[in-house]
Structure 1
Amino acid sequence: MARSLDGLVLAPVADQAPGQVGTRTRFTYHEKDGEIWAEYAGGDVIRGHLLGTRQDDRLDFRYVQLKRDGSTSSGHCVSLVVELSDGRVRLEETWEWESQTGSGTSIVEQVGGQVGEDCGTGH
Structure 2
Amino acid sequence: MTHSLDGLVLAPVSDQAAGQVGTRTRCAYREKDDVVSAEYAGGDVVRGHLVGTRAADRLDFRYVQLRTDGTTASGHRVSVVVELPDGRIRLEETWKGESGPGAGTSVVEQVTAHAP
TM-score range, shorter chain: over 0.9
Partner of residue 105, structure 1: 105
TM-score (norm 2): 0.96
Equivalent position amino acid for 1:3 in 2: H
How far, CA to CA, are the matches of 1:118 and 1:47 in structure 2? 24
TM-score (norm 1): 0.91
Q: CA RMSD in A?
A: 1.3
How far, CA to CA, are the matches of 1:17 and 1:76 in structure 2? 17
Partner of residue 57, structure 2: 57
Identity score, percent? 71
Matches within 5 A, 1:83-98: 83-98=83-98
Deviation sequence 1:8-65 (CA, Å, 0-9, x none): 0000000010011000000000000100000000000000000000000000000000
1:73 aligns with 2:73: yes
Partner of residue 28, structure 1: 28
Q: How far is the alpha carbon of 1:118 from its aligned partner?
A: 8.1
| Count of matched residue pairs | 116
The answer for unaligned runs of 5 or more in structure 1 is none
1:2/1:83 contact within 8 Å kept: no
- The 3 A distance-change label for structure 1 pair 118 and 51 is farther
Matches within 5 A, 1:12-23: 12-23=12-23
Residue 96 of structure 1 aligns to a residue whose secondary structure is: strand
Question: Segments of 4+ in structure 1 off by > 4 A?
Answer: none
Deviation sequence 1:46-91 (CA, Å, 0-9, x none): 0000000000000000000000111100000000000001000000
How far, CA to CA, are the matches of 1:6 and 1:89 in structure 2? 12
How far, CA to CA, are the matches of 1:79 and 1:118 in structure 2? 25
1:66/1:73 contact within 8 Å kept: yes
Equivalent position amino acid for 1:14 in 2: S
The answer for unaligned runs of 5 or more in structure 2 is none
Residue 73 of structure 2 aligns to a residue whose secondary structure is: strand
